[in-house]
Structure 1
Amino acid sequence: MGKTQYTLDSTVRLIIKILVVILIFFSIRYLYGVLLPFVIGWLIAYFIHPLVCFIQYRIRVKSRIVSIILALLLVCGVLFGLGMLIIPIIYEEMSKIIPLVDKYLQDINAYPFINEVLIKNLQIHFEALDYKKLISLDTLNVIIGKVVPQFWGLMSNLWQVVLAIGTMFFTVLYVIFILKDYEKLSDNMIKLFPKHYRNFAQELQTDLSGAMNRYFRGQALICLIIAILYSIGFTIIGLPMAIVMGILMGILSFVPYLHSLGFIPVIFFAFINSAETGNSLGLMLLGILIVFVIIQLSTDAFLVPRIMGKNMGLSPAIILLSLSTFGVMFGFLGLIIALPFTTIAIAYYKRLVIEKETITKD
């Protein structure tokens, strides 16, 4: 077959499509703060929608609004119940940590020479101060120049709190309104496409929904297992707040490679444990390393292949590229949706471009 001929009309159409994509991208970046509650609300509605359908059609609650309210109350009740189970554990662990920190601070006071050196340095510093210069007009201007930005920074932080509360409020409203007309919204989104693209859009929507279902359910199960394994492992090696750290590692594991950040508090508690008990810090760090290696190998060799199967099929380099790209574009939300969207994009690229080129050449 001959090569594709690019006419003036096709070239102009291609340029317009590229410009539209660029315009959409920068519009999303500009309106990120406004779109964020909507996107979060849509994701929450996406996860709660099966529960709403179950209540409405299986339990046969006639009112859609009542079904939505019952579903939200059930989800909030489950989260509250989990909190009531976890918070006492955290409280018990913290009650063990606080005496360790106090003991560590008291140990510093056990060395008088530290206090003597500190007091001597403070005396030298205050003796060198020029008090007349300190209370001069120029000094006051400097102080005011430093205090005023701090005041405006405080006001800015308060405004950020107000914005966060507003974002949460609008997110809840979006969840309710989207759930109320979920099926209608999904159908109407397909109708936004031209007729000759609607079959493709419907297929894309079905594939994307299936990929997200498989990914989120599988990843949630993996995170739960990882949290349990780390809690058991940290308890065995005697790490303080073992269960809390295990839960933290499980939550961070929802985004690939993010669980590495969890080792910062883990190592901190290892230092505290070593200071309290007198045990070898090296042995504790070695125990943490062994726990990490065993769980990481178990995850890569058994959990991910069996639970996720080959749904992702992405190399580590592509995963990192996808996470960094979506993270820059959409923030933390981008880290969550990066892998399912990347998987779908690669699958459709292979289907529409590579396979089409192969058929054309044949």
Structure 2
Amino acid sequence: MLRALLALGFLFLNIYACEGGYNSCINKVKHSNTIQNQTIQIPITKHTRLVFSQTRPHGKILKHDPYLSLYIVKDKKGFKYPFKINMRYPSGLAAVNKRTAYEGRIKKRQIGLNQLATFNYRVKAPAILTNSCCSLEGIITPRGIIEKSYIKRFINNSDIRYSDIGIRVKDTHKCVKVTSYDPFMKNNPFKKGDCILSMDGRSVKYSSSLMQRILFSKVGSTHNVKVRRNGKIINIKVRSQKRLSGGYKVETYLEKYGITFDKNLYIIKIEKSKDHYGLLLGDQLLQVNRNDVKKQEDVMKYMSDFKFHATLLFQRNGNFQFFINMD
């Protein structure tokens, strides 16, 4: 009996060793029951699992990140060989589920909460990203890949909040450019079209690394940002605030008014303590500053384009339309 148990133990070790390659990773995903329906439930210690789920998972929830739909949940049954996160540069990558492993690479990096990373070819979610030693490199969701740095931060930090300095950015051939800024952030010093040159003395080359530095900084911390605006170099000092939306929480910049939208821009939640301009649950946002909007990206694009107040067109009960001005 003892010999059988030892043999079984060595079998597991061999299954999950680097020498087994990605076949070992497929077996590990299968034996650990990591992929369950449309959820990902990764054992990270013997009795806890990192869960990606767009609905509340079963079991005792220890921690929750609503922006990336991540949970840490107690695992009563347990699994002896949890996944470790590889923070070194991987020698290879594969998208792994319980049947197959597709080798590839990350094509586009994760830019903050609103643009997840992408693989170099289409991969069906749910799946996980691993190296050949089965160490965790990312989580493949329907919207893209949640990179390991975000996963590691969520697992290790007691403070799961993200910081915000009121800008959203993208890479251009010239610089990291501000595509929109939060117009309701008090004294927001940024402008649409600003080129971000450095932050806290460190040069900025990519939007992915800039947004990660912003998000991972301490809420309430002060930052020095150098920008190029209309050919001039400007030094900006800004204090970070708590990020209110993004990722799997629809973002419109109206969250400061206690208003939450679904993906079709219907109001699904209103905080009673906020001034919400007489809006009601079920009202649908149709226009921002005279521009039609159908998704959150449209709202973000046009929300910054006003001088004195934002003009918003809503529809109620499918036929009654009305404007409100917010400043």
TM-score by length of 1: 0.21
Higher strand share: 2
Higher helix share: 1
CA radius of gyration, larger in: 1
